[in-house]
Amino acid sequence: MGMNAAVTIMQATDWKKFSLEEWLYQFGAWQNSIKGTCGRSLNPIAQAMDQAVIKRKKMKLGVRKQRQIIADAMLSDADLLPNKKQTPKDIVCEINDNEARAVQRLIFDLRGQSSVMDGWLDAIIDRYFYFNSWSEMTEWEMQWVGDTRKMVKIYSEMDARFDVKCGLATLHCRYGFIEF
């Protein structure tokens, strides 16, 4: 290749265009920009990302837990896909496919280094890519409390806020060239 080595997507992106959080929101707007039937994205990169999120969430759970989720879903007609909401009206997609791939790299290049960091990145994805509110990011589980079965919050709004802050701090430390 010599002196004229190919420029990577990360190098070709003008990171001064947006702040870190704006880039993350822009990716969410981009992945929702091409819709097919039933609101599912026709964007192949967005579809691959959805599948990765689904697979990762299933892998985190034990086999018994996965079976319980499937059984609960069959009984309640719950949707097993991540919450794919419309882009908020005040966020207009202003990035192209290459910039979107670069933003995706920000997340995927940090994946798999630790389960804690992966949890922070999951929170970033839920908040910025899927536009989930803090309350929508909570997780509940049916548990025995004394001799009564009831829903118990196992992941709170505060947990989500802390995980997003830690995820943003991690991204900022790794990619200091992006305005925070």
Residues 151-177, mean pLDDT to the nearest whole number: 96
The percentage of residues in the chain with a pLDDT greater than 90, rounded to a whole number, is 59
> What DSSP string describes 41-90?
B--HHHHHHHHHHHHHHHHHS-HHHHHHHHHHHHHHT---S---PPPPTT
Check residues 152 and 73 and name the one with the higher pLDDT. Answer: 152
Would the pLDDT of 86 be above 70? no
Q: What is the pLDDT of residue 89?
A: 74
pLDDT band at 166 (very low <50, low <70, confident <90, very high): very high
Chain Cα centroid distance, residue 112? 14
Check residues 30 and 3 and name the one with the higher pLDDT. Answer: 30
Check residues 103 and 38 and name the one with the higher pLDDT. Answer: 103
* Stated pTM of the model: 0.72
